[in-house]
Structures are given as structure tokens and as C-alpha cells.
């Protein structure tokens, strides 16, 4: 939207602008609410990382939580500057993160274990190169949405094989947050002109950041629960923002076992 104060970062060069007036509160922050709404994502990812390290999960889960933090930080920088280069630093990690989710979701059933991570790594590198040279715009959004849709059937299969009611609640929270967050994103894009005439802008894109921060956290916690059962643990879900707080190693259980 139109600018308020003068810009420290120069003119806007990103291909997207969101429904928030630029440089209202500071000449160093283009979109104030869209910038600081990423803070919950950093905090929740850090909590998940600590839990993954404490429970001695595979490194893939630690990398997943770190990728959540990197994505949130990249989004903060992008919305603070609204420059093309920083936009790349936001959008490219979005795709890399989804490739990591695909690996974690589908790797237990993958027969050739080395081929899947190799393919996903090459795919991520090629995408980063192409996206840095071309203004993909709408194509990027479609591509990202397709990657998200690839994850949903597998998440649903995990949900069906899970019997623990507390763990199923994590799955439902994952679905609710992604649906509500998507509605906020769409509302911000479709009704911006109407919102700009309101006394108070609902900041739909900032709400998208917040809901997706919790979405990632609930998804990670649910995947960690299922992985714990695959490894023969007896996981218990203790709720502090969905945090799994304790495990007991017992005989393997068939619940949520997909491989």
C-alpha cells in the first residue's frame, strides 16, 4: 500500500505488496505488523527444537525446526524491506521447508533411501536458481500450494493410524490453523480495498503468519509423536501449546506404524 514515512531501504522492488500501509511506525520497517507477526514462529520453532534435541530425535527433526526459524526470520527481513532480494530470501525457504516435510512424511516407505533426499536436494537447488532469475509470481504460489497438497494425504494417513486422542487433537489443530490462516491470506488479498477504508485494518497477512506459525508447530509435534511410536516408544502428549513433554521407552506399538 501507499507509503507513510520516508523509506530507509529505498523504493519497493518486490513483486508483492500486502494490505498494510508502508513505513507507518518506522522508516526502517516497511510493514510493521507483517514483520513482527513472524516472532511467534521463531519462538515456537525454538521450543520444538529444544524438545527434539532433548528427546534425541533424528537430525531431520532438528533441521525441520531450524528451517521454521529461518523461514520466519527471512519473512521478517522481507516485510521490513520489501525488496526483491529479500523476497527471494522469504519465498525460496518456503519451498525448501515443504521439501523437507515431504521427505519426513514419505521417507519411511521409500525403498531406496538415498534417492529421495538426493532428488529433493537437487530439486531445491534447481528451484532456487530458477526462482532467483525469473519473476515467477503466480506460478510460485501455485507451485507452493501443490507442495502443501502433497503433504496432506500422508498427514491424513498418519491421523487415521493414530489412536491416542491427544495426538489426534494435534492433527485437528494442524488442519484448523492451516484453513483459518489460508482464509486470512485470501481475505487480505481479495478485500484489501475494502479494508483500507475501515478504521482498523484486520491485518490478514499478519494473522496468516501467526496461524501458520502454530500450524508448523502442531504439524511438527504430530510427526514427532508418530515417529516416536515407529521407533517403539510410548509417547505421551502433554499440552503446552501442543508440546510433547515426555516419553517412555517400551515395547513397540502398532499404533501409527506405517512402515
Q: How far apart are CA 23 and CA 80, in angstroms?
A: 9
Q: Is 208 annotated as a binding residue?
A: no
Average pLDDT of the chain is 85
Q: Is 223 helix (H, G, I), strand (E, B) or coil?
A: helix
- pLDDT for 112 equals 67
Q: Is 205 annotated as a binding residue?
A: yes
- pLDDT for 233 equals 79
Average pLDDT of the segment spanning 89-104:
93
pLDDT of residue 245 exceeding 50: no
- pLDDT for 259 equals 44
Q: Is 163 annotated as a binding residue?
A: no
Of 62, 144, 129, 132, the residue nearest 99 (C-alpha)? 144
Model pTM? 0.87
According to the per-residue pLDDT averaged within each range, which of 52-56, 115-119, 208-212, 235-239 is highest?
A: 208-212
Contact 217, 147 (CB under 8 A): no
CA dihedral for 151, 157, 159, 164, sign (positive or negative): negative
Q: How confident is the model at residue 208 (pLDDT cuts 50, 70, 90)?
A: very high
pLDDT of residue 251 exceeding 50: no
Q: How far is CA 259 from CA 71, 159, 256, in A?
A: 30, 15, 9
Q: Is 209 annotated as a binding residue?
A: yes
Average pLDDT of the segment spanning 207-219:
94
Instruction: Quick: pLDDT tens for 136-174.
Output: 888 998 999 999 999 989 999 999 988 888 889 889 999
pLDDT of residue 258 exceeding 90: no
Instruction: Quick: pLDDT tens for 21-71.
Output: 889 888 899 999 999 999 999 999 999 999 888 888 889 999 999 999 999
Q: Is 65 annotated as a binding residue?
A: no
Q: How confident is the model at residue 20 (pLDDT cuts 50, 70, 90)?
A: confident
Q: Could you give the count of Cα atoms lying within 13 Å of 200 in the half-sphere of its Cβ?
A: 1
DSSP H helices in the chain = 32-36, 39-54, 59-81, 84-106, 115-133, 138-161, 165-190, 192-196, 204-230
- pLDDT for 246 equals 46
Beta bridge partners of 26: 29
Q: Domains in the chain, ordered, with CATH? A: 32-249 (1.20.1070)
- pLDDT for 240 equals 64
pLDDT above 90 as % of the chain: 50
Amino acid at each position: 500500500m501507499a507509503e507513510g514515512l520516508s523509506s530507509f531501504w529505498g523504493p519497493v522492488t518486490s513483486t508483492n505488496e500486502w494490505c498494510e500501509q508502508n513505513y507507518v511506525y518506522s522508516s526502517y520497517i516497511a510493514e510493521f505488523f507483517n514483520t513482527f507477526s513472524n516472532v511467534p514462529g521463531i519462538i515456537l520453532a525454538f521450543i520444538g527444537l529444544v524438545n527434539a534435541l532433548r528427546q534425541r530425535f533424528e537430525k531431520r527433526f532438528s533441521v525441520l525446526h531450524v528451517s521454521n526459524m529461518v523461514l520466519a526470520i527471512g519473512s521478517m527481513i522481507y516485510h521490513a524491506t520489501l525488496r526483491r532480494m529479500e523476497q527471494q530470501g522469504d519465498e525460496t525457504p518456503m519451498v525448501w521447508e515443504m521439501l523437507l516435510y515431504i521427505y519426513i512424511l514419505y521417507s519411511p516407505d521409500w525403498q531406496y533411501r538415498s534417492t529421495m533426499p538426493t532428488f529433493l536436494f537437487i530439486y531445491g537447488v534447481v528451484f532456487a536458481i530458477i526462482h532467483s532469475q525469473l519473476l515467477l509470481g503466480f506460478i510460485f504460489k501455485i507451485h507452493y500450494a501443490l507442495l502443501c497438497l502433497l503433504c496432506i494425504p500422508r498427514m491424513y494417513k498418519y491421523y487415521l493410524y493414530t489412536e491416542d486422542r491427544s495426538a489426534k487433537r494435534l492433527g485437528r489443530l494442524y488442519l484448523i490453523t492451516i484453513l483459518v490462516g489460508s482464509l486470512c491470506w485470501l481475505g487480505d488479498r481479495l478485500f484489501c480495498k475494502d479494508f483500507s477504508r475501515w478504521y482498523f485494518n484486520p491485518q490478514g497477512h499478519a494473522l496468516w503468519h501467526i496461524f501458520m506459525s502454530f500450524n508448523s508447530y502442531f504439524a511438527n509435534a504430530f510427526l514427532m509423536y508418530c515417529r516416536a511410536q515407529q521407533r517403539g516408544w510410548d509417547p505421551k502428549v502433554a499440552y503446552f501449546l501442543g508440546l510433547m513433554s515426555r516419553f517412555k521407552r517400551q515395547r513397540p506399538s502398532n499404533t501409527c506404524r506405517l512402515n
